[in-house]
């Protein structure tokens, strides 16, 4: 009974299914599948000589199955029903088909064409990245039969033949070349936009991963669409290149997303899934190397790569799970949209590869469109990431500014208290003396009191003057002014006089040009206070008998060079440049402001003055070389222009 039902179905299909494709005078392009028949040779026993023994079926779907280890056969009859001879070009729409053996039956004569990307391009009559061949000068009324054997173990077997006139095929090839040029151009444009920014942001890891992602995206499209084959890569090497770039594309996508999740502090099962995919794709690359030596494993590798991709789909559902709670996070939003674009196109291609769906005009370019969208949204994610870095930098600068202010206030209070110790003690002693005199209530001692009061007043005047000195320093105009360096150095030295006298320190200044600087006077004094005060602290800590500070000033039109050198034993911190980092200090941690003072100096020199500071150890102590640009010359030159 089943046999008769099958025969009835075949007979009915043959009646309603056109058996011959007719080419009219107005013909330009057509898909031949509605006129084609197929047979799947699951035992791999059919040859062209035995083709007459098989039972043909109408080709209702052009996708004849994916990753088959057997060949499929197709048959097409076409007739020139026009009034003029025709030259036609037949093209298989899948560029990465491994083998196509085409037999043309014409006037009882059979010719064979060997196509497919495992065969050299030189064997083709019409060299092209697609499997194409010409049917030349088909006479009016002539009928031709095209029988094809297809074999593609690393993908789907596409049985379709697209038929073009010569002019229409040239138009198609031109438009497709323009598309691939646009695809590569967009990828490279996004690449050259993001990479310099990432390098400036000092995120070399994300820059490297994004570069890998760009290379793999372009490489995957060029290889799977036959562009590398057109460059001369054939046989096993072409299959290896196609699978390699496919695996590399999955791997780079996973690594970029993992990096985004790391810098945005997203943890949990999502990162675990991506890590598993990373290890699986790494294994696939090792498997690929094995396939180079054992080509028979290529089909197993291709199938396993699909399963890795399927496992990667789980990560998309986890992204969906986290999407609503993290909706406000723009970086996560861009990651999700970009990954969704490639997820949908990958799922679509997966259904084509396993034979569920058939190819069409959109499917050829869907993956390239998906990768462009993914790269675009990844680039948006990078831009948002850099905006957040800039925001964090502004917040850190504000915090550092507050720290600098507090450190400055602490240093001022410390120096004022140091300045006031001696006069307060002496004034207190004199007041005690006066109290004793008043206790005896003898008029002869009143003259003594009159002598002591001016002395007490002198101490309070000294204290008031010291307060005025610090106030005058810290209430200076915050705008740039023209000031001489030597008076500022003397003022700073005077402010630290109490500590200087205690240590018996000496200052030697060499300023032959009486240098003048157009910049921030307050900030310059602040730098000097920190550097000189640090040297005095080290002299006290190390019991230097005769501490000495040498300041050498060299002035030019463009800048002022200031060298500050002491004999207080130098800096023990290694590497010595780290002394400018916050919370790094060669002092005892119990000392005030340890680890912040030189960080403030570095910030002021670099950002306030746009200058530079170099530190090293000299023969007897620390050596600081400051280069401060003279902005007045720049202002004058701009005004002159």
Q: What is the CATH number of the domain that holds 264?
A: 1.20.1070
**Whose CA is closest to 353, among 416, 292, 303, 290?**
303
Q: Which of 364, 398, 432 is the last residue of a domain?
A: 398
- If asked whether residues 115 and 48 sit together in one domain, one would say yes
Range of the domain at 516: 476-641
- If asked whether residues 336 and 317 sit together in one domain, one would say yes
Residues 386/379, Cβ–Cβ less than 8 Å: no
Q: What is the CATH number of the domain that holds 139?
A: 2.60.40.2380
List the chain residues with pLDDT less than 70. Answer: 1-18, 265-271, 273-274, 312-314, 318-319, 321-327, 396-426, 429-430, 433, 437, 439-446, 448-449, 451-452, 455, 457-478, 498, 582-596, 631-641
What's the number of domains the chain is made of? 3
Residues 616/576, Cβ–Cβ less than 8 Å: yes
Domain-embedded: residue 292 = yes
Q: Which of 170, 201, 231 is the last residue of a domain?
A: 170
Q: What is the CATH number of the domain that holds 526?
A: 3.30.565.10
pTM: 0.61
The whole-number pLDDT of residue 638 equals 42
**Whose CA is closest to 334, among 180, 194, 179, 218?**
194
- Kindly provide the residue ranges of all beta strands, DSSP E only, lying in 496-567, ordered along the sequence: 506-510, 516-519, 548-555, 559-566
Measured distance CA(36)–CA(158) in Å, rounded: 12
- Burial of 326 by CB count in 10 Å (0-12 exposed, 13-18 middle, 19+ buried)? middle
Domain-embedded: residue 454 = no
The conformation of residue 409, written as its DSSP 8-state character, comes to H
- Burial of 168 by CB count in 10 Å (0-12 exposed, 13-18 middle, 19+ buried)? middle
Place of tokens 């000294």: 462
Question: What phi and psi, each to the nearest 5 degrees, are found at residue 550?
Answer: -110, 125
Domain-embedded: residue 436 = no
- If asked whether residues 156 and 204 sit together in one domain, one would say no
- If asked whether residues 133 and 204 sit together in one domain, one would say no
SS (H, E, C) 77-94: EEEECCCCCEEEEEEECC
Residues 349/358, Cβ–Cβ less than 8 Å: no
Domain-embedded: residue 494 = yes
- If asked whether residues 90 and 140 sit together in one domain, one would say yes
The whole-number pLDDT of residue 639 equals 39
Question: What phi and psi, each to the nearest 5 degrees, are found at residue 131?
Answer: -80, 100
The whole-number pLDDT of residue 254 equals 79
Tokens, residue 231: 């460059």
Q: Which of 398, 418, 435 is the last residue of a domain?
A: 398
The whole-number pLDDT of residue 471 equals 60
Domain-embedded: residue 433 = no
- If asked whether residues 212 and 257 sit together in one domain, one would say yes
**For residue 334, cis peptide bond before it (omega within 30 degrees of 0):** no
The whole-number pLDDT of residue 330 equals 80
Domain-embedded: residue 336 = yes
- If asked whether residues 31 and 139 sit together in one domain, one would say yes
- If asked whether residues 152 and 206 sit together in one domain, one would say no
- If asked whether residues 230 and 351 sit together in one domain, one would say yes
- If asked whether residues 39 and 103 sit together in one domain, one would say yes
**What residues contact residue 544 under an 8 Å CB cut-off, 6+ apart?**
503, 538, 567, 568, 569
Indicate the SS3 state at residue 622.
strand
Domain-embedded: residue 405 = no
- If asked whether residues 198 and 139 sit together in one domain, one would say no
Measured distance CA(454)–CA(614) in Å, rounded: 49
Largest CA distance in the chain: 152
- If asked whether residues 115 and 187 sit together in one domain, one would say no
Measured distance CA(30)–CA(33) in Å, rounded: 9
- Helix, strand, coil percentages, rounded to 5, for the chain: 60, 20, 25
Domain-embedded: residue 561 = yes
């Amino acid at each position: 009974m089943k046999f008769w039902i099958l025969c009835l179905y075949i007979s009915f299909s043959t009646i309603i299914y056109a058996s011959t494709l007719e080419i009219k005078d107005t013909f330009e392009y057509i898909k031949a599948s509605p006129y084609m028949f197929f047979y799947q040779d699951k035992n791999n026993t059919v040859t062209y000589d035995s083709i007459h023994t098989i039972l043909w079926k109408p080709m209702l779907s052009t996708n004849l199955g994916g990753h088959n280890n057997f060949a499929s056969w197709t048959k097409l009859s076409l007739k020139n029903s026009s009034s003029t001879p025709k030259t036609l070009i037949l093209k298989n729409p899948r560029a990465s088909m491994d083998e196509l053996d085409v037999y043309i039956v014409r006037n009882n004569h059979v010719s064979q064409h060997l196509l497919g990307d495992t065969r050299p391009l030189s064997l083709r009559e019409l060299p092209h990245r697609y499997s194409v061949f010409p049917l030349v000068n088909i006479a009016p009324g002539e009928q031709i039969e095209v029988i094809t054997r297809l074999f593609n173990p690393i993908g789907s077997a596409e049985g379709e033949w697209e038929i073009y006139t010569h002019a229409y095929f040239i138009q198609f090839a031109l438009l497709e070349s323009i598309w691939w040029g646009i695809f590569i151009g967009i990828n490279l444009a996004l690449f050259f936009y993001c990479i310099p920014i990432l390098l400036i942001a000092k995120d070399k890891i994300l820059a490297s991963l994004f570069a890998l992602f760009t290379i793999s995206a372009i490489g995957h499209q060029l290889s799977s669409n036959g562009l590398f084959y057109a460059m001369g890569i054939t046989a096993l090497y072409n299959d290896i290149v196609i699978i390699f770039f496919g695996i590399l594309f999955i791997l780079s996508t996973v690594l970029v997303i993992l990096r985004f999740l790391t810098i945005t502090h997203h943890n949990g099962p999502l990162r675990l899934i991506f890590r598993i995919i990373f290890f699986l794709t790494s294994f696939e690359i090792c498997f690929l190397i094995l396939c180079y030596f054992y080509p028979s494993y290529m089909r197993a590798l291709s199938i396993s790569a699909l399963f890795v991709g399927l496992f990667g789909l789980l990560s998309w559902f986890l992204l969906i799970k986290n999407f609503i709670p993290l909706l406000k996070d723009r970086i996560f939003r861009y990651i999700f949209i970009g990954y969704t674009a490639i997820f949908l196109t990958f799922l679509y291609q997966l259904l084509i590869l396993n034979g569920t769906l058939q190819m069409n005009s959109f499917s050829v370019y869907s993956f390239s469109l998906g990768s462009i969208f993914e790269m675009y949204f990844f680039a948006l994610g990078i831009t948002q990431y850099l905006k957040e870095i800039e925001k964090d930098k502004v917040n850190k600068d504000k915090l550092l500014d507050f720290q600098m202010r507090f450190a400055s206030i602490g240093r001022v209070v410390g120096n004022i208290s140091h300045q006031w110790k001696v006069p307060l003690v002496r004034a207190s002693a004199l007041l005690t003396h006066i109290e004793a005199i008043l206790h005896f209530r003898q008029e002869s001692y009143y003259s003594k009191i009159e002598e002591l009061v001016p002395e007490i007043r002198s101490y309070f005047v000294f204290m008031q003057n010291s307060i005025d000195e610090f106030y005058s320093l810290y209430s200076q105009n915050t705008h740039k002014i023209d000031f001489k360096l030597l008076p500022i150095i003397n003022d700073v030295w005077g402010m630290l006089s109490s500590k200087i006298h205690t240590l018996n320190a000496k200052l030697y200044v060499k300023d032959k040009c009486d240098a003048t600087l157009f910049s921030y006077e307050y900030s310059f004094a602040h730098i000097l206070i920190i550097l000189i005060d640090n040297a005095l602290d080290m002299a006290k800590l190390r019991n230097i008998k005769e501490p000495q500070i040498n300041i050498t000033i060299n002035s030019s039109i463009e800048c002022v060079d200031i060298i500050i050198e002491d004999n207080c034993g130098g800096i023990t911190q290694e590497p010595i440049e780290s002394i400018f980092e916050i919370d790094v200090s060669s002092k005892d941690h119990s000392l005030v402001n340890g680890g912040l003072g030189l960080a403030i100096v570095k910030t002021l020199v670099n950002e306030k003055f746009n200058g530079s500071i170099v530190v090293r150890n000299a023969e007897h102590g620390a050596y600081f070389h400051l280069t401060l640009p003279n902005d007045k010359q720049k202002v004058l030159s701009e005004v002159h222009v």
